[in-house]
Structure 1
Amino acid sequence: MASIGTLRQLQILLALREHGSVTAASEALFLTQPTVSMQLKNLADKIGMPLYQQQGKKLQFTDAGLEVLKTAKDVVDCFDQLEMRLSALKGLEAGKLRIAVVSTAKYFIPHLLGEFCKLYPNVEVNFSVGNRQQIIDRMKDNLDDFYVFTYPPKEIKLVTTKFLDNPLVAIAHDQHPLTQKKRISLQQFFKLPFLLREQGSGTRYAIERFLEEKSLQLNTRMIIESNEAIRHSVMSDLGVSILSAYTLVYGEDAGLSVLPVTGLPIRSQWYLGYLENKQLSPIAQRFFDWVTTEGYKQLEKQSQKVLKHSR
């Protein structure tokens, strides 16, 4: 190990890959930026080749860097597994749990994690949020134990389980003229100025699939990169949109109305998944077993309020 770098240097390299910059990696590790830069330089010097290069604002890892990253992930995972096995021998329910979720899932997954952490207070949770494409990128790099999304990528082999409905509903400003209608056609709705999530979003993916099936087109007014920004834009009467009902229940939904559009909501499912070749740690296995039994039942109770928005 000494000839190619220390464990800490490998951890720093992994943080650089995950967070995308020296500044972000240093903040995540609670280290100063000069310390992180020096450790990365020392690691590259010991290996004898550059590990990454800066291209504009983006880091590009070299072939050597990618090889070191693969080994670094294996080494750090081995230490994490050892720590959890030793904790188990001591009778402690401890360890690290890494979960990455698409942005809409952030409205309810923390409630699930909160209940689990009450049962296992010694668990350290790493909780990451991104759009669908960002979560797929994390899968490819094997950065997490579990992923939560609505449309599993076909190109990655995953073990998945359905655990919750995810209705996507039509929303408008609560003073919009169509809120007085008892029924609105799809054609009428999609002619309105529409606020659409960014490319790579799971919600956008679902909407585009739905439009293709129905041979409809959007009247897109704005592309917006978050559910919160879309909600506030709809409240400001900039247009209509389609979002998960969860964004209305767990967000501040005053000023919004769900429109009675024929053929909506778009029905989808929440999935909990992990890589097919992933060896789950003891605490990760415990989390999966809990989510698919007790945790699932708790979410089902909470989801009743959500489903009212989709009727």
Structure 2
Amino acid sequence: MKNATFRQIKTFETVARRLSFSRAADELNLSPPAVSVQIKHLEEHAGIALFEQLGKKIYLTSAGQEMLRYSQAIIRCVQEAEESLAKIRSGEGGQLNIGVISAGIYFFPKLVAEFVGQHCGVEPQLIVENRDDLLRRLDENRIDLAVMVGEPTDPRIVSEPFAPHAFLIVAPPRHRLAGRAPITLSELANERFIVRERGSDTWNAFEQCLGGRLDLKDTLEFRSTETIKQAVIAGMGISFVSAHTVEFEVRAGMLSVLDVDDSPWTRPWRIVHRTDKRLEPVAEAFRLFLLEEGAMRISELAQAVAG
């Protein structure tokens, strides 16, 4: 049976269902002799008769009955494949492989959920890593898109800004500078800064915004934003953080935003992908969703959190 064609299987199923070569020919828009040729070739591949003729009527043999069961299953599989591929072509289905830096977990899953709600056949795969790890995954073709802040320098990567991203300095509520305004950068020189690790977008933003203006004498690095927040709450130091990550703690009075000169510092959220990567329709649809609606959606989420 390895040389049987789908056309032969489809023709057989139609004849078996109609139990008539002429009626099957009409349904398939073929001539009766063409139908007979297809059945003859399929029986040769099967090595056994699939029909028997008694008088003017044809009947399925036991082999034909078994072949009908498998033929219908094959046809169903092909139809399902056609439907699935049609969804993928239209962007309404398929797997969406995306990565986001850790600051994005406070809003990004909601954006993905909204997109999936509009494209019910999409299966999202979301990876949370720091910037360098996401760029590595893009390079290895393990994700299609990544959302980050810093603009990649690799010419093989294209990045498009889609929403503003604010950074703040936070401290424990009882910190000596909490509630003061304005605060100069020189007043922070002797503070212990608790920061994200090198290679993260938050570290890069910290370097861009404050690195050349603030001579830090004491720093601690952590890979986890949640760990940093807990360390600041515990009074271990102050931190430069994404505004998205501390909305709850600030509202709850667990952290205070320091009113530092020139703050908040803003850098854009970016959607990035390889220039030589042909995006799947679903990935292209999500990219356009972020570019067209990302800023508005993030703003709405922030307002909802603020109450």
TM-score tier, shorter chain, comes to 0.5 to 0.7
Give the aligned residue type for 1:268.
R
> What is the distance in 2 between the residues matched to 1:176 and 1:233?
13
The DSSP-based 3-state class of the residue aligned with 1:177 is: coil
Deviation of 1:91 after TM superposition, in Å, equals 7.6
Tell me the alpha carbon deviations over residues 55-74 of structure 1, each in whole angstroms, 9 at most, x when there is no partner. Answer: xxxxxxxxxxxxxxxxxxxx
The DSSP-based 3-state class of the residue aligned with 2:230 is: helix
Deviation of 1:252 after TM superposition, in Å, equals 7.7
- The residue that corresponds to 2:103 in the other structure is 104
Pair 1:135-2:134 in alignment: yes
- The residue that corresponds to 1:261 in the other structure is 260
> What is the distance in 2 between the residues matched to 1:85 and 1:207?
45
Give the aligned residue type for 1:292.
L
The DSSP-based 3-state class of the residue aligned with 2:178 is: helix
Deviation of 1:305 after TM superposition, in Å, equals 6.9
Deviation of 1:303 after TM superposition, in Å, equals 4.1
The DSSP-based 3-state class of the residue aligned with 2:296 is: helix
> What is the distance in 2 between the residues matched to 1:239 and 1:99?
34
Q: Matched residue pairs, number?
A: 225
Whether the aligned pair in 2 keeps the contact of 1:107 and 1:251 (CA below 8 Å) is: no
The DSSP-based 3-state class of the residue aligned with 1:267 is: strand
Pair 1:227-2:222 in alignment: no
Deviation of 1:234 after TM superposition, in Å, equals 0.5
Higher deviation after alignment, 244-253 or 92-101: 244-253
Give the aligned residue type for 2:231.
S
Cα RMSD of the aligned pairs, angstroms, is 2.5
> What is the distance in 1 between the residues matched to 2:173 and 2:106?
22
Tell me the alpha carbon deviations over residues 273-306 of structure 1, each in whole angstroms, 9 at most, x when there is no partner. Answer: 1111111111112212222223443223334578
Return closer, same or farther for 1:83/1:152 CA change in 2, 3 Å cut-off.
farther
Tell me the alpha carbon deviations over residues 226-282 of structure 1, each in whole angstroms, 9 at most, x when there is no partner. Answer: 111010110001100110000012668631010001122222110011111111111
Give the aligned residue type for 2:236.
L
Give the aligned residue type for 1:111.
K
**Structure number with larger C-alpha Rg:** 2
- The residue that corresponds to 1:189 in the other structure is 188
Q: 2:247 aligns with which of 246, 249, 255?
A: 249
> What is the distance in 1 between the residues matched to 2:82 and 2:280?
10
Whether the aligned pair in 1 keeps the contact of 2:99 and 2:134 (CA below 8 Å) is: yes
Whether the aligned pair in 2 keeps the contact of 1:166 and 1:267 (CA below 8 Å) is: yes
Give the aligned residue type for 1:240.
I
Deviation of 1:143 after TM superposition, in Å, equals 1.4
Query: When the two structures are superposed, what TM-score results if normalisation uses the length of structure 2?
Result: 0.67
- The residue that corresponds to 2:276 in the other structure is 277
> What is the distance in 2 between the residues matched to 1:94 and 1:235?
44
Tell me the alpha carbon deviations over residues 143-182 of structure 1, each in whole angstroms, 9 at most, x when there is no partner. Answer: 1111111112202422322111111101000111211312
* Structure 2 counterparts to residues 144-223 of structure 1, below 5 A: 144-214=143-213, 216-223=214-221
- Alignment identity in percent? 30
Give the aligned residue type for 1:94.
G
Tell me the alpha carbon deviations over residues 3-25 of structure 1, each in whole angstroms, 9 at most, x when there is no partner. Answer: xxxxxxxxxxxxxxxxxxxxxxx
Give the aligned residue type for 1:183.
P
Give the aligned residue type for 1:291.
L
Give the aligned residue type for 2:247.
V
> What is the distance in 2 between the residues matched to 1:92 and 1:135?
24
Tell me the alpha carbon deviations over residues 8-59 of structure 1, each in whole angstroms, 9 at most, x when there is no partner. Answer: xxxxxxxxxxxxxxxxxxxxxxxxxxxxxxxxxxxxxxxxxxxxxxxxxxxx
Return closer, same or farther for 1:110/1:176 CA change in 2, 3 Å cut-off.
same
Where in structure 1 are there 5+ consecutive unaligned residues?
1-81
The DSSP-based 3-state class of the residue aligned with 1:167 is: strand
> What is the distance in 2 between the residues matched to 1:83 and 1:101?
32
> What is the distance in 2 between the residues matched to 1:146 and 1:90?
18
The DSSP-based 3-state class of the residue aligned with 1:228 is: helix
Deviation of 1:90 after TM superposition, in Å, equals 9.5
Query: When the two structures are superposed, what TM-score results if normalisation uses the length of structure 1?
Result: 0.66
Whether the aligned pair in 2 keeps the contact of 1:107 and 1:250 (CA below 8 Å) is: no
Return closer, same or farther for 1:304/1:234 CA change in 2, 3 Å cut-off.
same
Whether the aligned pair in 1 keeps the contact of 2:91 and 2:119 (CA below 8 Å) is: no
Where in structure 2 are there 5+ consecutive unaligned residues?
1-80
Return closer, same or farther for 1:98/1:211 CA change in 2, 3 Å cut-off.
same
The DSSP-based 3-state class of the residue aligned with 2:141 is: coil
Whether the aligned pair in 1 keeps the contact of 2:144 and 2:279 (CA below 8 Å) is: yes
Whether the aligned pair in 2 keeps the contact of 1:151 and 1:202 (CA below 8 Å) is: yes
Return closer, same or farther for 1:199/1:146 CA change in 2, 3 Å cut-off.
same
Whether the aligned pair in 1 keeps the contact of 2:178 and 2:258 (CA below 8 Å) is: yes
